[in-house]
Structure 1
Amino acid sequence: MAEEVTTAGTDQDPAKEPGEAPAAPEGMSGSFVRSALVLALGAFVALMDTTIVGVALHSFSKHFGASLSDVQWVSTAYLLAMAALTPATAWAAQRFGAAASWTVSLCVFLAGSILCGAAWSIGSLIAFRALQGLGASMLFPLMRILVVQLAGPERMGRMMSLIAIPILVAPVAGPVIGGAVVQDLSWRWAFFLNVPVIGAVIVLSALCLPNSKGQLASRLDIFGLLTMSAGLAAVIFGFSRLGEGRPVTDIQVLLPLLAGMVLLVTHGVRARGRGTAGIVDFGLFRDRPFTASTTIALLNNFGLYGAVVLVPMFFQQAGGKSPLAAGAIMVAQGVGAAVAVLLVGRLIDAKSNPRALVLFGLLLVAVGLTTFAMADTASASPLLLGALLVQGIGLALTASPIMVTLYHSLPPTSVPAATTANAISQQLGGAVGTTVIALLLQHYLSSGDGVTSAFQSVFWWALAFVILTALPALLLPAGQPKRS
C-alpha cells in the first residue's frame, strides 16, 4: 500500500492528527481525483463484466453443449458467491484496512477472470465464476468506505458522484461491448478483457490508496457470518429460481426462501440477545437518514431494473433489434447519467437539499418510464431517445445523494457497518426487484395481448415502484450533513 495508518474515524486532518492520512484541501486535488478514478475503474470493470456475461450466456450453451438451466448457473453462482462474503466487509475493512481488502478482492476477481476465460467445461466455468463472485463481493461497499475515508464531508458529493458513474454507465456499456466481443472475437474475451484493466487497477490502488485500519477489538463472529451469509444466499437463490418461472411451491423456491428467512431471523435474534451489533448492526436503522437512504436504495432496484434492463429488452423483443443495436440505443441514457452525475456532486458539496435532488431525480425517471409505457412502437424515435436521456439524468440525481445521506448523522466509526448493511439491502432489493419485474413480464407476455402491450403494462408497474420510492425520499434530510 502507498501508506498505512490506523484510525477509527474518517475525517482526517494532519494538522490535528500527525499519524493519520493527510486531508484534502477544499477543492478536488489531483490525488483525490486519481484515487476516485482508480476506485471507479475497478467498479466499472466488475459491473460491466456482469452485463457482458449476460450477453454471452447463449455462447456458453453453444460452445459447451449445455442446457439453458445449466448455463444459468454461470450467473447464479456469481450472485450466491457475492452474497456469501459481502456481510464480512465491515469486519475486513476494520481488521485489515479498506484499501488492503479492496486490493485483495481485486486480485481474487482477476484470478477468477483468468480462470473463467480458460474454462474447459461448463462445470469449471461455473466454479470459476463463483471465485470471481467472491472477489466482487466486497468491491462496491469497500469502494464507498474508501471514498468516505478519503473525501471527508467537504468533498464527499463530488467523490461519490465520480464512483457513481460506473454504476450508472456500466449496465449501458456492457451489452454494447459484450455484443461486439461475442460477435467478433470469442466468449473467452468476455473475461480476458478484464485482465489488463484489473491488473492496472491493482497496481494503481497500491500506489494511490492509503490503508486506514479501524480500532477493532473483537474477533470475527463466525456463527453470525454463517447465518447472515447463508441466509442472504438462500433468499437470493430462491428469488432467482422464482424469476425463472418456477411456482412459489416448487421445492427449489420454497425451501431456500424459508431457510433463508429462518437463518436471517436467527442472526437478528442472537445479536439482540447478546447485546452486540453482530455481523450486521441492526441498530443503525434507528437513524432516520440511514433508514431512508437504505430503503430508497432497496426500492430503487425495481425502478432501476425497469430503466436499465427492461428498456433494452423492449427494443429487442418488441422492436426486433439485435442486442448490440439495443445496447447502442441505450447510450443516450448513459450520456445523460454521466453528464448529470458530475453536476449533482457539486450541488451536494454546495450544501444543496438532498431530499429535493432525489425527488426531482425520481420525477425524471418517472417521466422517462411514462414515455415508454405510452409508446406504441419500439423504434429508436427522437421521443424515446429523449426519454432515455431524461431517465439517465434522473438516475444520476437519485443515486449520488443517497450515497451521501446514508452517513448524514452517523459517527465516522459507523461508516463500515453502515456501508455493509446498505450493500446487503441492495443485494436483497436487486434479487426481489429483478424477480418481480421478470414475473410481471412473463405474466403479460403469456396473456396474448401482444409483445408491445406486455412491455407497456410492465413499464406502468415500474413507474408505480418509482412513485413508491418517493415515500422514503420524503424522509431524507434537507440540510447539511452532521459530522462528529
Structure 2
Amino acid sequence: MTADSRIPTSPARSAPSPYRVAAVVMIGSFMSVLDGTIINVAIPALQRHFAAPDGALPAYSTVAWTVTGYALAVAAIIPLTDWGLKRIGARWMYIGSITLFTIASVLCALSPSLAFLIIMRVVQGLCGGCIMPVGTTLVARAAGPNNLGRMMSLMGIPMLIAPVMGPILGGWLVEVASWHWVFLINLPFGAAAAGLGLFLLPRDDDRGTVRLDVPGVVLMSPGLALTLWGVSNAGGGAAITAPVVWVPLVLGLVMVAAFVRRSLHAERPLLDLTILRLRGYRNAIALAIFFQAGFTADLLLLPAYFQQVRGLGAMAAGFFIAPTGLGALITMPIASNLVDRLPAGRVVPFGMAAMFASVLALTQVGADTSLWWLGVVLTVQGLGIGGTMMPVSTAALQAVDREEVGNATTLFNIGQQVFGAVGIAIVSVLLALFLAGTDAGAAAVAGELSGSELANGLAQAADAFGRAFWMPTVSMGLALFMAFRLPMRRERATIPATS
C-alpha cells in the first residue's frame, strides 16, 4: 500500500467544499469544548442556587459531579462512535449529536434540582463525546490527502480558543447574568451547527447494517468510565489506597484489558486494534497521549498558580494564559500547511521542542516571577502547541486508509481522553504532596496567613508549583522523543497480516 491510497478524495458529487464542512464542524466543536470548561467557574453559584431551605449548601464534591458526570459520559460514548459512523452515517450522527446536545443544554438551564442537572450533564456528555471524533472524520473525508493538514488546522482553532475563553466567559456570565447562561449560550451555536449541517455536510453513501459488538461495548465503555472515575478520585484528593480510587480503577483496567484481548480475536470488534500495527499511526498516537497528559497537567497548574500564588481572579488568570492561544494561532496554519507537503517527522519536532522548553522554564517559577517573562514563556508554549497538536492528528490520519478514518479517530480520541485525565490526576496528587511538605505553603494558598508569614508561605507555594511542573516537563520530553520517530517519508507500510 502506497501513499496514493491515503484517504482518497470522494467523487465530486458527494464531496462539497472541505472549507464548508470544516466551518460547520468548527462551530459544533467550539461549543462542545467550551462547555467542558465554562462550567468550572459556575460551581460556587450552583451551590448557592441549590442550597437547602435552611441555607445549607450542597457539598462541593456533589456539585462537581456536573463536571465529573460529563467527563465519564464522554469516555463511555467515544468507543461507540465508529459503529455509529458505519450504521447511522457521519452526517446524521453529527447533526443528531449537536441537536440533542443543544436540547440538553437548555434543560440544564431549566433544571429544577441538582440531581436533574447532573443527569442532563451526563446526556450532554454522551452527545458531546460524539461531536469531536465524528466532526474530525467528516473533515478528513472531505479534505483528501493533499489538504488534510490545512483542514485539521482549522479544526484546532476551537480546541485552542475555547479552553482559554471558558473561564473568562463563564466568570463574566455568572457575574453579569446568572449561571443559567453558562448553558443557554450553547443554544445559538447548536442551532447554527445543526442548521448549517443540513445544507453543507455531505450525504453518506456508505451506510449499512453493521452488527454492534455488544460484549465489546459492555467491556469497553464501562471500563473506560470506571478507569477515569478512579483516576479522577485520586486527582480529587482521595488516597491511592482508598476504595473509591483503587476499586473502580482496578475493575476498569481489568475490563479494558479483557476488551483488548477480545478485540484481537473477534471477527468484527467494536474497535479494530490491528491499526496499531501501522508504525506511523502507532508513533503518532503515542506522541499524542504523552502530549495530552502534559498539556492537561500544564493547563491545571497555570490558572492555579496565577490565582493562588499571584492573587489574580479567574478572569485575569484567563487573560494571562491567553498568549498560549495567540502563539498557537500563529504556528498552527504554518505547521499544518507544511505537514501537507512534508513528512510529519520533519515538522512536528520543532513544535515539540518549543513546547518542552516552555514547560521546562515553568519549573523555575517563583512568587515574584516577572509577569512579562511568563508572558514570553507562554507565547513560546503557544507556538509549540500550534506546531504540534493538529499536525500530529494529521500525521495519524495520513497513515490510514479512508475506510479506517473512523476507527483511527475513535482510538485517537480515547487515548487523549484517558491520558488527559491521568495527567490531571498525577499532577494534582503531586501538587498536594509538595504543598503538604511545606511549612506554610498550603496555608498561604488557602488564605489563612497575612503579612510576612503570607509572603514566606507564597514563596514556598511557588516552589511547590515549580516542582509540580516537572510532571508535564517529563511528559513533554517523552513526546519530544516520539516526535523524532514520526515518519521521515510520506510512504507507509500496510498493516501486517496476522498469523
TM, length-normalised to structure 1: 0.92
> Which amino acid letter does the alignment assign opposite residue 101 of structure 1?
M
Residue 277 of structure 1 and its aligned partner are, at CA, apart by 4.6
Deviation digits for residues 404-431 of structure 1, max 9, x if unmatched?
1112332221111111111111111111
Q: Aligned partners of 2:150, 2:366: CA distance in 1, in Å?
A: 39
Q: Which runs of 5+ in 1 are unaligned?
A: 1-7, 24-30
Residue 198 (structure 1) aligned with residue 187 (structure 2): no
Q: Aligned partners of 2:401, 2:36: CA distance in 1, in Å?
A: 34
Residue 177 of structure 1 and its aligned partner are, at CA, apart by 0.8
Check whether the contact 1:96–1:213 (CA below 8 A) recurs between aligned residues: no
**Corresponding residue of 1:338:** 329
Residue 63 of structure 1 and its aligned partner are, at CA, apart by 1.6
Residue 365 of structure 1 and its aligned partner are, at CA, apart by 1.3
**Structure 1's 22 and 462: CA in aligned 2 closer, same or farther, altered over 3 A?**
closer
Q: Aligned partners of 1:379, 1:207: CA distance in 2, in Å?
A: 52
Residue 279 (structure 1) aligned with residue 265 (structure 2): no
> Which amino acid letter does the alignment assign opposite residue 59 of structure 1?
A
Summarize the alignment of residues 442-481 of structure 1 with structure 2, pairs less than 5 Å apart: 442-448=432-438, 450-480=460-490
In structure 2, the residue corresponding to 1:212 is in which secondary structure?
coil
In structure 1, the residue corresponding to 2:147 is in which secondary structure?
helix
**Structure 1's 380 and 126: CA in aligned 2 closer, same or farther, altered over 3 A?**
farther
In structure 2, the residue corresponding to 1:48 is in which secondary structure?
helix
Check whether the contact 2:365–2:465 (CA below 8 A) recurs between aligned residues: no
**Corresponding residue of 2:14:** 21
* RMSD after superposition: 1.9
Q: Aligned partners of 1:257, 1:364: CA distance in 2, in Å?
A: 34
Residue 481 of structure 1 and its aligned partner are, at CA, apart by 5.6
Check whether the contact 1:95–1:213 (CA below 8 A) recurs between aligned residues: no
Q: Aligned partners of 1:168, 1:177: CA distance in 2, in Å?
A: 15
| Bigger Cα displacement from structure 2, 140-149 vs 294-303 | 294-303
List 4+ stretches of structure 1 deviating above 6 A. none
Residue 38 (structure 1) aligned with residue 35 (structure 2): no
2:386 to 396, 399, 414: 396
Residue 60 (structure 1) aligned with residue 46 (structure 2): yes
Deviation digits for residues 376-421 of structure 1, max 9, x if unmatched?
2366622111111110110111112111111233222111111111
Check whether the contact 2:15–2:202 (CA below 8 A) recurs between aligned residues: no
Check whether the contact 1:329–1:380 (CA below 8 A) recurs between aligned residues: no
**Corresponding residue of 1:362:** 352
Deviation digits for residues 231-270 of structure 1, max 9, x if unmatched?
0111011111111111122121111111111211222222
Check whether the contact 1:302–1:437 (CA below 8 A) recurs between aligned residues: no
> Which amino acid letter does the alignment assign opposite residue 185 of structure 1?
A
Residue 482 of structure 1 and its aligned partner are, at CA, apart by 5.5
Q: Aligned partners of 1:197, 1:294: CA distance in 2, in Å?
A: 30
**Structure 1's 57 and 141: CA in aligned 2 closer, same or farther, altered over 3 A?**
same
Residue 123 of structure 1 and its aligned partner are, at CA, apart by 0.8
**Corresponding residue of 1:374:** 364
Residue 329 (structure 1) aligned with residue 320 (structure 2): yes
> Which amino acid letter does the alignment assign opposite residue 138 of structure 1?
C
Summarize the alignment of residues 108-123 of structure 1 with structure 2, pairs less than 5 Å apart: 108-123=100-115
Q: Aligned partners of 1:217, 1:406: CA distance in 2, in Å?
A: 28
Residue 479 of structure 1 and its aligned partner are, at CA, apart by 2.2
2:289 to 272, 289, 298: 298
Residue 227 (structure 1) aligned with residue 219 (structure 2): yes
Q: Which runs of 5+ in 2 are unaligned?
A: 52-57, 442-459, 495-499
Residue 98 of structure 1 and its aligned partner are, at CA, apart by 0.8
**Structure 1's 481 and 338: CA in aligned 2 closer, same or farther, altered over 3 A?**
farther
Residue 13 of structure 1 and its aligned partner are, at CA, apart by 4.5
Deviation digits for residues 112-146 of structure 1, max 9, x if unmatched?
10011111221111011001111101111111111
**Corresponding residue of 2:449:** none
> Which amino acid letter does the alignment assign opposite residue 69 of structure 2?
A
Q: Aligned partners of 1:86, 1:210: CA distance in 2, in Å?
A: 22
Residue 468 of structure 1 and its aligned partner are, at CA, apart by 1.3
> Which amino acid letter does the alignment assign opposite residue 32 of structure 1?
P
Summarize the alignment of residues 63-102 of structure 1 with structure 2, pairs less than 5 Å apart: 63-65=49-51, 66-102=58-94
Residue 260 (structure 1) aligned with residue 257 (structure 2): no
Check whether the contact 2:362–2:466 (CA below 8 A) recurs between aligned residues: yes
Of all paired residues, the percent bearing the same amino acid is 32
Residue 161 (structure 1) aligned with residue 153 (structure 2): yes
Q: Aligned partners of 1:98, 1:232: CA distance in 2, in Å?
A: 23
TM, length-normalised to structure 2: 0.89
**Corresponding residue of 1:48:** 34
> Which amino acid letter does the alignment assign opposite residue 48 of structure 2?
K
**Corresponding residue of 1:27:** none
Check whether the contact 1:228–1:264 (CA below 8 A) recurs between aligned residues: yes
| Bigger Cα displacement from structure 2, 357-366 vs 374-383 | 374-383
In structure 1, the residue corresponding to 2:204 is in which secondary structure?
strand
| Bigger Cα displacement from structure 2, 392-401 vs 265-274 | 265-274
Residue 453 of structure 1 and its aligned partner are, at CA, apart by 0.7
1:173 to 165, 182, 202: 165
Residue 316 (structure 1) aligned with residue 326 (structure 2): no
Q: Aligned partners of 1:14, 1:46: CA distance in 2, in Å?
A: 31
Residue 289 (structure 1) aligned with residue 289 (structure 2): no
Q: Aligned partners of 1:378, 1:114: CA distance in 2, in Å?
A: 44
In structure 1, the residue corresponding to 2:69 is in which secondary structure?
helix
Q: Aligned partners of 1:481, 1:333: CA distance in 2, in Å?
A: 33
> Which amino acid letter does the alignment assign opposite residue 80 of structure 1?
L
> Which amino acid letter does the alignment assign opposite residue 230 of structure 1?
P
Q: Aligned partners of 1:312, 1:378: CA distance in 2, in Å?
A: 16
> Which amino acid letter does the alignment assign opposite residue 104 of structure 2?
G
Check whether the contact 1:9–1:214 (CA below 8 A) recurs between aligned residues: no
> Which amino acid letter does the alignment assign opposite residue 46 of structure 1?
S
